[in-house]
């Protein structure tokens, strides 16, 4: 009974429910979920950790990214998702989420650009510090 209660507790949070609904469509990484839902990556990560702890999602690391998907072996979750009525599916937030899901690649590109810019900035800072004599070879 605790397992069932924990699952419904997880689904009672709007952000976690939106994550579950999106993952029912396809697997996504944290940066994509963050962009689609327009919430911070730490919030997405915390919620995914909770969902994983109760057996609703699983993850798969690929290079720098971790992709999440629903557990196919969770019959209760499948039953809950199948029983959702039109009021949930047609909710304006979820409809917006689905629209943004169609353009999810932009969120991955943004993250890659930020990472690339951060790496370039770090290299430039190292070069500047080297020129200023602040970095010394050991």
The pLDDT tens digits for 42-93 are: 999 999 999 999 999 999 998 888 999 999 898 888 888 888 866 677 788 9
- Cα(61)–Cα(68) distance, integer angstroms: 9
The pLDDT tens digits for 7-52 are: 889 989 999 999 999 999 999 999 999 999 999 999 999 999 999 9
Tokens standing for residue 22? 């999106």
Of the candidates 7, 44, 47, 51, the residue with the CA atom closest to the CA atom of residue 29: 44
For the chain, list the domains and their CATH numbers. Answer: 2-102 (1.10.10.10)
Q: What is the DSSP string of 30-59?
A: HHHHHHHHT--HHHHHHHHHHHHHTTSEEE
Tokens standing for residue 45? 């990560």
Give how far Cα 123 sits from Cα of 6, 113, 133, Å.
47, 15, 15
pLDDT at 119: 46
**Do 56 and 10 contact (CB within 8 A), yes or no?**
yes
- Cα(33)–Cα(36) distance, integer angstroms: 5
13: left (phi over 0), alpha (psi -120 to 50) or beta: beta
What's the mean pLDDT when you consider all of the chain?
Answer: 80
Tokens standing for residue 125? 């800072």
Rounded to two decimals, what is the model's pTM?
A: 0.76
């Amino acid at each position: 009974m605790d397992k069932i209660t924990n699952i419904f507790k997880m689904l009672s949070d709007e952000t976690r429910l939106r994550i579950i609904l999106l993952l029912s469509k396809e697997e996504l990484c944290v940066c994509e979920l963050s962009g689609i839902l327009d919430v911070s990556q730490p919030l997405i990560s915390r919620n995914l950790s909770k969902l994983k702890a109760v057996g609703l999602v699983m993850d798969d690391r690929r290079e720098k990214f971790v992709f999440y998907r629903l557990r196919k072996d969770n019959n209760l979750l499948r039953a809950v998702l199948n029983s959702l009525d039109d009021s949930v599916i047609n909710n304006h937030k979820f409809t917006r989420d689905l629209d943004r899901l169609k353009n999810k690649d932009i969120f991955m590109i943004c993250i890659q650009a930020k990472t690339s810019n951060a790496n370039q900035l770090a290299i430039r800072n190292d070069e500047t510090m080297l020129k200023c004599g602040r970095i010394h070879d050991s």
